[in-house]
């Protein structure tokens, strides 16, 4: 069975085609800069060997972009399908599923209407996700269209974790609460991590630490999320590439009333100009770590702040879980930065977390344990695979 996974952004479509038997990637690519004269499609086929191709062509909208993807996948020479009917399901990443969706669903008119209603909660993402669904329905009319929500994994949180201590009506009438993001990644990583433990799932307590451009953590007990660091939006929690993460809610008032900033400028500043970028001038962790090595004071401070916030959440989640079997690092920074993992684990012996420095520094791929043999809490690197998780969840629904 072949499944196409689509992640539609405002100006991009990322896609992967899987042969589900053996979870083999057949093709993978990106339609980039939709609506810009410099748009392009980059596609790679993986059978029999990798073949990468970039087409630079004007792509005015998502429909033209997906049409180009379909044509490429059906290429008479290198293509991996002869007919669009060979695709059994299209799995869509949908950012916000609100309280309505705690699991993936097969998309119909009612589901699309609901995703549209949820635009108020994810104004930057749900409209493009919906557009992706509509164009995929056109090109793959016989495939099941499946929505996999980034918030769904966190729907098992109890009210004490997801409610904000603000007047009740804001929750009951406006649904203002903690939803959490990166759910597909936390779901995949925590499942992989739990599978490494020699324990019945229901007795396990783990923490998943996703450190990419966006950063978030999830506390998972018995395979179910009990708390997470992002909130109503992805702005809350850890310090990120360009997002501030947690701050005193009075800061935006101060910026508005005392500095006279407009709401949209505050929004932009906290989402796009803060985090590592705000403190160290770059949102790329590699740059900031390099600057730190040269003794740059802002880079040193940025890393100290970034690491301290992760440690705070580890401590808080351990207290909430009441036990901790393992933690896992994932995403661009979590999977690749030896230094960052070392700094996060430094001094956490008191919590039973002991990193094996040579295992941490060893190059490798796949899931690997990097704690000492005596560490009470196991420390792992688990490469995330959100696309495969979407494909697996879509397959399950068929």
> Which residues, in sequence order, are CB contacts of 53 under 8 Å at separation 6+?
42, 43, 44, 72
Q: Which residue is nearest to ligand ADP (CB)?
A: 332
Q: Is 279 in the site for ligand ADP (CB under 6 A)?
A: no
Joined together, the tokens standing for residue 64 give 């033209």
Q: How far is the CB of 7 from ligand ADP (least distance, A)?
A: 10
Beta carbons within 10 angstroms of residue 67's beta carbon: 15
Does residue 275 interact with ligand ADP by CB under 6 A?
A: no
Stretch touching ligand ADP by CB under 6 A, among 37-45, 88-96, 279-287, 344-352: 279-287
CB of 386 to ligand ADP, least distance (A): 9
C-beta of 157 vs 181, nearer to ligand ADP: 181
Q: How far is the CB of 292 from ligand ADP (least distance, A)?
A: 11
Taking the complex as a whole, the smallest distance from the CB of residue 142 to ligand ADP amounts, in Å, to: 32
* DSSP state, residue 120: G
Q: How many helices (H) and strands (E) does the chain have?
A: 15, 14
Applying CB under 6 A, does 11 fall inside the site for ligand ADP?
Answer: no
> Does position 12 bind ligand ADP by CB under 6 A?
no
Residue 189: CB atoms within 10 Å: 32
Residue 279: name the closest of 253, 305, 259, 254 by CA. 305
Token representation of residue 220: 């998972």
Pick the piece of the chain touching ligand ADP (CB under 6 A) from 46-54, 86-94, 208-216, 242-250. 208-216
- Tell me how far, at minimum, the Cβ of 333 lies from ligand ADP, in Å: 4
Burial of 168 (0-12, 13-18, 19+ CB in 10 A): exposed
Backbone phi, then psi, for 102, in 5-degree steps? -110, 5
Residues 305 and 131: their CA atoms lie apart, in Å, by: 38
Minimum gap (Å) between residue 290 Cβ and ligand ADP:
9
Backbone angles phi, psi at 228, to 5 degrees: -150, 160
Is residue 125 classed as helix, strand or coil in its secondary structure?
coil
77 three-class SS: coil
**324: contact with ligand ADP by CB under 6 A:** no
Q: Choose between 82 and 286: whose C-beta lies nearer to ligand ADP.
A: 286
Burial of 16 (C-beta count, 10 Å sphere; 0-12/13-18/19+): buried
Q: Indicate which single residue of 12, 156, 161, 213 sits in contact with ligand ADP (rule: CB under 6 A).
A: 213
**Site residue total, ligand ADP (CB under 6 A):** 12
Please give the distance of CA 55 from its chain centroid, rounded to a whole number.
Answer: 28
Q: Counting contacts by CB under 6 A, is residue 183 touching ligand ADP?
A: no
Catalytic annotation present for 287:
no
Q: Which is closer to ligand ADP, CB of 230 or CB of 285?
A: 285
Residue 254, number of CB atoms within 10 A of its CB: 12
Q: Does 331 bind ligand ADP (CB under 6 A)?
A: yes
Contact 32, 11 (CB under 8 A): yes
Residue 271 lies near ligand ADP (rule: CB under 6 A): no
Stretch that binds ligand ADP, among 38-46, 209-217, 267-275, 312-320 (CB under 6 A): 209-217
Task: Considering the candidates 36, 75, 108, 150, report the single residue annotated as catalytic.
Answer: 150
Q: Which of residues 281-310 bind ligand ADP (CB under 6 A)?
A: 284-286
Reduced to 3 states (helix: H, G, I; strand: E, B; else coil), residue 204 is coil
Looking at beta carbons only, is 143 or 343 nearer to ligand ADP?
Answer: 343
**In this chain, which of 65, 91, 180, 214 binds ligand ADP, going by CB under 6 A?**
214
User: How are beta strands 205-211 and 326-330 bridged, if at all?
Assistant: parallel
Site for ligand ADP, residues 220 to 249, rule: CB under 6 A: 241
Q: What amino acid positions are annotated as catalytic residues?
A: 150
Query: Which residues bind to ligand ADP, rule: CB under 6 A?
Result: 212-214, 241, 284-286, 331-333, 336-337
């Amino acid at each position: 069975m072949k499944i196409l996974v689509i992640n539609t952004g405002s100006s991009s479509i990322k896609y992967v085609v899987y042969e589900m038997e053996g979870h083999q990637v057949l093709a993978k690519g990106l339609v980039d800069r939709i609506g810009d004269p410099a748009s392009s499609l980059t596609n790679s086929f993986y059978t029999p060997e990798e073949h990468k191709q970039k087409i630079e062509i004007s792509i005015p909208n998502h429909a033209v972009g997906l049409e180009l993807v379909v044509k490429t996948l059906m290429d008479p020479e290198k293509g991996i399908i002869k007919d669009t009917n060979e695709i059994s399901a299209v799995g869509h990443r949908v950012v916000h599923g609100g309280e309505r969706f705690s699991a993936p669903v097969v998309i119909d008119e009612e589901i699309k209407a609901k995703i549209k209603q949820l635009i108020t909660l994810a104004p930057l993402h749900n409209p493009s996700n919906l557009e992706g669904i509509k164009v995929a329905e056109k090109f793959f009319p016989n495939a099941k269209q499946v929505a996999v929500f980034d918030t769904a994994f966190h729907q098992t949180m109890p009210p004490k974790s997801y409610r904000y201590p603000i007047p009740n009506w804001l929750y009951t009438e406006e649904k203002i609460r903690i939803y959490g993001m990166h759910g597909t990644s936390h779901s995949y990583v925590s499942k992989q991590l739990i599978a490494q433990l020699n324990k019945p799932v229901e007795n396990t307590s783990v923490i998943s630490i996703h450190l990419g451009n966006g950063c978030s953590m999830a506390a998972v007990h018995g395979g179910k999320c009990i708390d997470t660091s992002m909130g109503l939006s992805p702005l809350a929690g850890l310090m990120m590439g360009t997002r501030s993460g947690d701050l005193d809610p009075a800061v935006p008032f101060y910026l508005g009333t005392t500095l006279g900033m407009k709401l949209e400028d505050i929004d932009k500043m906290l989402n796009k100009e803060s985090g590592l970028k705000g403190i160290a001038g770059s949102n790329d962790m590699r740059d900031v770590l390099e600057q730190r090595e040269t003794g740059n004071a802002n880079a040193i401070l940025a890393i100290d702040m970034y690491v301290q916030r992760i440690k705070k959440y580890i401590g808080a989640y351990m207290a909430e879980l009441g036990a901790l079997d393992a933690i896992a690092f994932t995403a661009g920074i979590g999977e690749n930065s030896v230094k960052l993992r070392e700094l996060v684990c430094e001094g956490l012996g008191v919590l039973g977390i002991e990193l094996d420095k040579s295992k941490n520094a060893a190059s490798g791929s796949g899931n690997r344990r990097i704690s000492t043999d005596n560490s009470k809490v196991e420390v792992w690197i688990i490469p995330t695979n959100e696309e495969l998780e979407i494909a697996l969840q879509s397959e399950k629904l068929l």
